[in-house]
Amino acid sequence: MTATTHQLTGMLFGLITITFFNLFSITPEHGTELILFFLIVLFGSLLPDLDTPRSKLGGRFPFFFISYPFNWLFGHRTWSHSFTFIAIVLVIGWGFGMAVDWEWYLSSALAIGVASHVLGDFFFDGGVPLFYPFIKRKYKFFVTARTKRPGELNISENLVAMILLLSNVILGVSHIGFDVWEVILMVLTS
């Protein structure tokens, strides 16, 4: 899964979280809090691939100071693509959130992004070692898409990205409070 598709997955996870808690009348107090939430989720959605310098973030300064040694020590799709890592990030997030008096959903934002990444890779290439380091086997969906290479026309990745984009737009629009179908009709008839 490419970085862009991972960010689309992260965005969707973020929107689902916000929408779900809106059902229970839990809404962020400030718009800035919501922006911060999505920025952290988007960063979290790229974080697991800091295990390789070949990823978008991992190849850049200052992140290659992490990706090179991590990749050398553990390899790609190991620790950072597991439930263990999600749990670690969640605990760190909650600890930090308590210290700075954040709402729980903001403290969970990084872990939500990481979880979206791990789930995304479950559907791509060789899958993910969900129970690493306890069980090193990689788990994947019974059909997997292949990650798009630069400049390649890759229908499976493009299709997944399109579905994600569409879901984001539908959920995002309905979150703002518009009737999705009314908006689609408006766009189509304009």
- If one asks whether residue 51 binds Zn ion (CB under 5 A), the answer comes out as no
Length of the chain equals 190
Interface segment toward Zn ion; rule CB under 5 A; list 43-51, 66-74, 150-158, 161-169: 43-51
Question: Can you read off the two tokens belonging to residue 174?
Answer: 């309905």
Contact string 70-109 vs Zn ion (x = CB under 5 A): ----------------------------------------
* Least distance between Zn ion and beta carbon 77 (Å): 6
**Residue 49 in the binding site for Zn ion (CB under 5 A):** yes
Helix (H, G, I), strand (E, B) or coil at 70: helix
End-to-end Cα distance, the chain: 35
- Residue with Cβ nearer Zn ion (55 or 108): 55
For Zn ion (CB under 5 A), the number of binding residues is 3
Per CB under 5 A, which of residues 115..144 are in contact with Zn ion?
A: 121
Amino acid at position 24, single letter: F
d(CA 86, CA 64): 21
- Contact between 157 and Zn ion by CB under 5 A: the answer reads no
Which CB sits closer to Zn ion, 37 or 76?
76
CB of 121 to Zn ion, least distance (A): 4
Q: Which residues bind Zn ion (CB under 5 A)?
A: 48-49, 121
